[in-house]
Every structure is written in structure tokens, then in C-alpha cells.
Structure 1
Amino acid sequence: MAGFAEACEGDGIRVRRVSDAFAFHTSQMDAIGEELAAAVAGLSPRASEVPLYSTVTGELLDTATMDADYWRRNLREPVRFEAAVRALLDAGHGLFIEVSPHPVLTGAVQQTAEAVDAPVVALGTLRRDQDDQERLLTSLAQAYVHGVDVDWSVWFEGLGARRVELPTYAFQRRRYWLESSTQTADVVSAGLGAAGHSLLGAAVSVAEADAAVVLTGRLSLHTHAWLADHTIGGSVLLPGTAFVELALRAGDEIGCDAVEELTLYAPLVFPAAGAVQVQVVVGEMADGRRPVGVYSRVEDEQSPAEWVQHAGGTLVAGDRTDPGFELTQ
């Protein structure tokens, strides 16, 4: 036996030798079974208020039947712990609390529940080498968060504790959805076409050019708050991918569905307040290609700023290009 214990400890298995002189639930109990029955013969069992599932029978038991013969069987017969746990699970119980100096059965409860695919919570009460009062309070809290109705008033009896109202505080919340842009004007009534794009508001074809088109928009940190996420060196810039998106949208307007190349000339920096006006200009067809340029100027009713070109490139139909496009700056 000593060698077996040492081998288990060498494998990292916790071993604790039991000092009992008899092997319970074996034939060794036959020798004391009659003696035990005689010792408890004077007991008068009665029905309990709390339902009891017996590990002798493996099912719900009328405690009025727990006579001397029952306790003799308790020592001699196999422990039907798994059967009792399954009976509890079948009855709809899903939370088990082991009342003991240290939990040893919670793992077996969980394994039994897993075998029948039943949700279960198994908790202890006390633990070895832990403060009893702190551990019991922690266990009660664990039971409470799993739905057990705990009478906390008993814990605070004699301490002068009383209920108090929680302090009030402002309702706090944070939106994670992008705010919509300002209300779209009726550009159709002004002789323009709706661009149908989050960065562009209107599109207009130029009468004298070969199907040339200009798309316009108005951008600001107020109407497009997500732009503030692209801050470099303290300045908010329009991302490079946004220039590609603007060029693609302009190409859709005149039947060019690919950007062959796009060169970035200058960054589009947004002011802390106010807005910038944006124009995407598509030129006349030449050799199956159309030039495209992206321009902006700071919005100022008193003194309009000069237009600045930020990007320029070439639009073509998709079947005229290799996959992808060239982006330079």
C-alpha cells in the first residue's frame, strides 16, 4: 500500500491515507451489521420536511423508512451516488451544494451531469486551509449569483447594519453607431442628380464636354464623425482609401468601373470647425480612358478659398486593365 501511494504521488496524484480499520460497503461490514442494527433499533424515523434522495436506494426516499435495516444497508451496500444525482437531475434540480469541511463530491456531480448533457452548478461550503467565515460567505455569494435565495439579514444580525439607498448618478451611455450626415438637400430640383454616396451629394454632367461629369460633396467632422479616427500628427486627414472610393464612384457615373492608376498629390486636411467642399471631376474620353481628379476647398462664404487638387488618375472599363490598380503619392 505504501508503494502504491508513493507511485501516485510521483505521478502528481493527491493521496491521503484513510485510517479506518474497516472497508465500508464491503463484506467486512457483515461482522458489525447486526451490532449496528441493534444499536439503532430504538430510533423512530419520521417523514422529513425536506425531500431526501438516498444514496442507498438511488432515488427519492420517504425518511420514515430509515429504520435500523436501512442503516445496516447504508454500511454494507454500494453507494448509489450517481443514481441519486441522476434522479435529482431528472427532477429538474440544477444546483448542488456540498456541505462538508472540504468539497470532494462536486467534481463527481459535474461529471454525472456532463454524461447526460444536463446544465449544473456544483458548489462547496468550506475549504481546507481557508478561513471558515470568509469561505462560507464566498460560497453563499456564489450560490446567490446562481439563483439561490439567500437570507443575508441573518449574517448581519447584532452588527447594527441597516439598508441604505444606493446613491443616484447620471445615466451614462455611449453610441457605437456612426452618426448620419446632415439632411440631404433636394439636388434634383436644382438640376443636379443625386450621387447616392455617403461622401458625395450630387452629380452633374457637363453639357459641352464628351459626357464629362462632376460629383460634389461637403465633408466635416460634424457630419462625418468617423473621420476623426484618421488623425496623424494632430491633424485629421481624409484616408487614402477614401480617394480611391471617390474615384470609383465617379467612374460608375460614366461607365468606367476600374481605377487604372491614382496619384496622391496633397493631403486633405479637415479644419477643427467648419467644412470642406469636395469635387471629383472626370474628363473627356481619350484612347478609351478618362482622367479623374479630386479637389477640395475650405468652405468660407466670406472669402472662398482656392481649389486644391489632392489626387489625379485614370479611369477605364474593367476589361481594359489587369487586376488591381496603381496608387502612388
Structure 2
Amino acid sequence: MRKSTLSLFGSEWFGIAISTLALAQVYILVFGETGSIYMRYVAEAFTVLGISIFVVVFSIWVYRGFAMKDRVFSHWNNLTRLSFTALIPIIGFLGDYQLIYFFGLSPVTAELSLIDYYGNYVLALVLGVLLGHRLYTKVINAGEINYAIVIPPLAIGTSVFLAGPLMAYYGGLEAQTMYFLVLMGLGIFFFLYIFIGSLALAGHVSTKVPNTLPTTMLPVGISSLIIINLFAIAGFGKVDQISLALPTVEFLSVILWGFEVWNFLVVLILIFTNPTVGTLSIWAYGFPLGLFATSTVKIFTFTKFPDLLWIFVAIGIMLNILWVYAWMNTGIFMRRKLREETMERNAVPNQKTLP
């Protein structure tokens, strides 16, 4: 693979994997509501596909670092790529959770999942700290301030997906430790989102860079992730004398979900009025919609408000359409880049023949 082509494979490619896992999550929810074995098979297929895509992209990404040593620090110098690197722990949490959902836990897989949990938690925390450091010290280009910078704070909040089954399996001190980390993660990503999210909003409003417009979908997932965390914490019961009453969770969740609906409608209008073509940022639509779908089903489970199911169906349909649309855009992106590379390669011999 030519270096010019290899240089294209930055951390933004992880968006393909997380969007595919988000689609798998929607089908998991459909299976949970309908009990259809076919939906389970579809969900399993998307989970395996998402993890496989991640393995391929991660391998190319690592190879790129070794093959192009001058680009090793390119992510450090680019806030967007640094932020998308935080998709790695998100994929680790969500992918592992889905594998546990389908195949359960054995002593060996439980140990591996425990290592995965703590490793990705530390990675998410470190990436969040690094982002904060760069925000304070780097001379920032206007195009770098977009909603991609909320991904590192978001990453640590997704640990709740994997914490639930592991806490149920281990119990005792291990469960107490993970419970504490989930609470700590909720605080970190909630308050960081308030500050970093405000910065990202200001950046979008002032610069309006078309290529980063799809990242405006990311705030749709923030409130949903808070809802998921709250329901999970309430479901853990009383741990270390700390508990959260379910009625309080329902009250807060509906409030947060209302804000989520507003975000979703705004971004939905943006999708149709300002379509983005030929950019990988389109994959930013996937994961937030998966979180939105999950929080909607969580609230439906407790409120039994029937219209929520129809909203869930609409979100699921939208996610399926955008997933296909994102693949089409990825194809356009690659064809464009390969065409540019071919033109550059053909231009070199022509220059050599000039007198």
C-alpha cells in the first residue's frame, strides 16, 4: 500500500466499526422486544462485522504508525484525530458487552473482559486528559473545534455497558470497584461535556465547516448515555451504601430524553438540508443514534408509553438508512482519493520527460 494511501487511515476510520456496533445494538433491542430469533441472528452478524471491521482498521492504523514514522504524532497535533482515537475504548466496551450478551461469560472470558474493562477505562481517561492538555496548550485551527472533541469525555461514560454484566458475574469487591468507576465516569463525562460541548457548539456556530457537520449528531448521544447510566446505577441496587431511587431516575430520564428529541430533530433537519458527500465524518451519525435508541427503550420499559416504541422504530430505520448512506460516502471518498493519487503518479513521468 502506497504511503499516500496509507496516510488516509487515521482514527476517523474507527467510526465505521462503532456505527456497525450501534446498528447491532438496535437489533439487540428489537430482539429483546420481539423475541424474534431472526433479529438475534441479524444482531449477531452486525456485532461480528463491527468487531471484524475494527480489527482490520486497527491493524492498518497501527501499521501506518510503523510505516510512516513521521506521522506518528499526527494525531497528537490534530484535535479531531486525537478525539476519534477515543472510539477505541468505546468499541472495546460495547463490543465486549455484545459478545457477553450473545455468548455469556465463562471464567476465562470473564477474566479477559475484566482486563478489557479496566484497560479501556484507563485508556478513555488518559485520552480525555490528553485532549484537555491539548485544548489548553495547542494553537488550534478553527476547523478543529467541532463536536468530535466530545468523544473522549463520552468514552468513559460508555464503560457502563460492560460494567453491568461484569458486576453481576463477580459481585463483592470487584463489583464495588466498578460501581465506583461508573459513578466517577458519569461525573467526568457529564461535566466535561458541559464545558467541551459548549466549546464545540461555539466552534460550529462560528466556523460552519461542512465536513464536520455530521459530528453535530454526537450531542444526541450525550443525554441518552446519561439516561443509560442512571438506569444502570439504579439497577445495581445499593452498593457501598449508595443507591439511586428508580422514580427519581425515571423523572430525570424523561427530562433528559426531551432534550435528546430536540437535538435529534435539529440534526435531522441538517441531514436533509445540508447533505454531506464524500467524507468519513458521516459515520458520526451512527453511535449517537444507537444510544438514543437504547435510552428510548429503557424509558419505554419503565413508563410503558406506547408511542416510545414508534419513536424507537423511526430511530432504527434512520440508523439503517444512514449506515448504508455512510458506506456510499466511504466509497466516494476512496474513489476520489485514489483518483487523486493516480493523477499525481501519472504527473511524475510527464514532468521527467519535459526538456
Name the structure with the higher strand share.
1
Larger radius of gyration: 1
Q: Higher helix proportion, which one?
A: 2
Alignment TM-score, normalising by the size of structure 2 = 0.16
Higher RCO (CA 8 Å, separation ≥ 6 residues): 2
